[in-house]
Amino acid sequence: MLNSAIYIVGIGSVSAQGFDEATLLQNLNPLQSILSHIKEPNYSQYIEGNNIRRMGKLMKASLVAAKRCIADAQLQPQAIITGTGLGCMEETVKFLNTVIDTEGGVLSPTAFIHSTHNTIGSQIAIAVNCTGYNSTYVHRAFSFEQALFDAQLQLLTHDPTAHHVLVGGVDDMVPVVFDVLKELDFWKSASTPILDSKSKGSFAGEGMNFLMLSNQQTNHAYAKLLGIKMCYKPQSTNQVATCLTDFLLENKISPVDIDLVLLGDNGDMRFTEFYNAIITLFPVAKALGYYKHLCGEYFTASAFGVVLASLILKNQYVSSAISENYNSAKPLKNILLYNQFQGDHHSFCLLQHVEI
């Protein structure tokens, strides 16, 4: 049913790796710390002065990533769909502080105005004057996936005026969220390497990653988006494997057609069994890649994975920082991404190389 082609025709990424998409693949450095923040761009190139003072980091960096994506695509979006696990926590906390101090008093509304989850999508719409479809998904580690899924529906079926849709996954890591997740055993206790780790917990990160999707191929398209699928609270690893098998069938792709499996493994030994269940579905020599050691763990980290996969397909280059066992002699056609969060939220995404 959803069988027309959708292309990724632009990317914009702000992450712990920086904000230069053109050299991103060549300059990947594994994170060293238990908490890694984004490398912040010079906002004044993208945002006017008043707003630089008024907006929080998540909003500003999201605007930069969105604008870079639009410039990269050389296309104006006709719809904007945002995914964020926690939204504008910096402003939420800022406003909560004033509420706790002077509840019922006369408070400045600025932080409150910028605290709502849809602020990001709507500020981008204002910045690029887009009156088209606009929505914000806020469902934990499905937030970006559902934004991407909605964009797919929008392009394939519904809106005859929407040919280009801007989709983003954005989250930052404010101190209280880091502390809460630490208390909940999300993070490792010491700075050990994320991969090959036999310990529980992961490393915290943040990022703002945007894609421009189009139902028209451009001469600098990165990849074709074949599909996306989610699996909510599976009973077993088998159920996740079945979900993947169904997903590949729906897309008429056989496991042998997958050239690289890009995994959202975050080094938390408590969830390794899920990744192992997926890996066993593929031939022994299958190339495996990883990305969480480059961006850290957060609710929309999978968006960084999709950006990397897009760059890999376009450049036909897999950095050794992503995959150690990739056989470079073989052309890369299909990449499968798999991510899971705390065993509850599992997602698959299939990207395909585009002949320009």
Partner 1 sequence: MKKVFVTGLGTISAIGNNVAESYRSLLAMRSGISAMQLLDSNLKSTLPVGEIKLTNTQLLQLLGISHSQRIYSRTALLAMIAAKEAFHHAQLHRRPLARTGMFGGTSVGGMDRGEEFYKDYLASPSLAKIDYAKVHDCGESTECVADMLGIQDFVTTISTACSSAANAIMQATKMIQLGLLDTAIAGGADAFSLFTLNGFNSLKILSDEFCQPFDSNRKGLNLGEGAGFIVLESEEIVEKNHKTPLAEITGYGNACDAFHQTASSADGQGAWLAMNAAIGQSGIAPEQIGYINMHGTATPNNDLSEGTAVKRIFTNGVPAFSSTKAYTGHTLAASGGIEAVFCTLALQHGVAFPNLNFQTPIEELGLVPATDVTSIPNLKHVLSNSFGFGGNNTSLVFSKC
3-state secondary structure of 154: helix
Token code pair at residue 164: 């280009």
Contact set for partner 1, span 211-240 (CB under 8 A): 230, 232-233
Near partner 1 in 167-196, by CB under 8 A: 176, 179-180, 183-184
Q: Is 95 in the site for partner 1 (CB under 8 A)?
A: yes
Burial of 173 (0-12, 13-18, 19+ CB in 10 A): buried
Q: How far is the CB of 121 from partner 1 (least distance, A)?
A: 7
Considering only 66-74, 93-101, 191-199, 309-317, which stretch makes contact with partner 1 by CB under 8 A?
93-101
User: Binding to partner 1 by residue 273, rule CB under 8 A?
Assistant: no
Per the CB < 8 A criterion, the answer to whether 229 and 329 are in contact is: no
- Amino acid letter for position 315: N
Q: Does 106 bind partner 1 (CB under 8 A)?
A: yes
Report the nearest approach of partner 1 to the CB of residue 32 (Å): 26
Number of residues that bind partner 1 (CB under 8 A): 60
Residue 41 binds partner 1 (CB under 8 A): no
Q: 135: buried, middle or exposed (CB in 10 Å: 19+, 13-18, 0-12)? A: middle
138 in Cβ contact with 115 (< 8 Å): no
| Distance from C-alpha of 117 to C-alpha of 138, rounded to nearest angstrom | 8
Q: Does position 302 bind partner 1 by CB under 8 A?
A: no
Token pair recorded at residue 8: 């990724």
CB nearer to partner 1: give 45 or 131. 131
> How is residue 354 written in tokens?
């585009």
Strand partners, 35: 204
Q: Which of 10, 41, 56, 87 binds partner 1 (CB under 8 A)?
A: 87
Q: Work out which of 10, 41, 56, 121 binds partner 1, going by CB under 8 A.
A: 121
Nearer to partner 1, 184 or 285 (CB): 184
The alpha carbons of the chain give a radius of gyration, in whole angstroms, of 20
Our CB check for partner 1 shows the closer of 179 and 324 to be 179
Three-state DSSP class for 344?
coil
Binds partner 1 (CB under 8 A): choice among 6, 66, 125, 309: 125
Residue from 35, 43, 116, 279 binding partner 1 (CB under 8 A): 116
Mask for 146-165, x = binds partner 1 (CB under 8 A): x---x--x---xx-------
The nearest distance, CB 141 to partner 1, in angstroms, is 9
Burial 314-332 (b: 16+ CB within 10 A, else e): beeebbebbbeebeeeeeb
Rounded distance, CA 74 to CA 90, Å? 32
Give the binding site for partner 1 (CB under 8 A): 1-2, 80, 85-87, 92-93, 95-100, 103-109, 112-119, 121-123, 125-126, 129-140, 142, 146, 150, 153, 157-158, 176, 179-180, 183-184, 230, 232-233
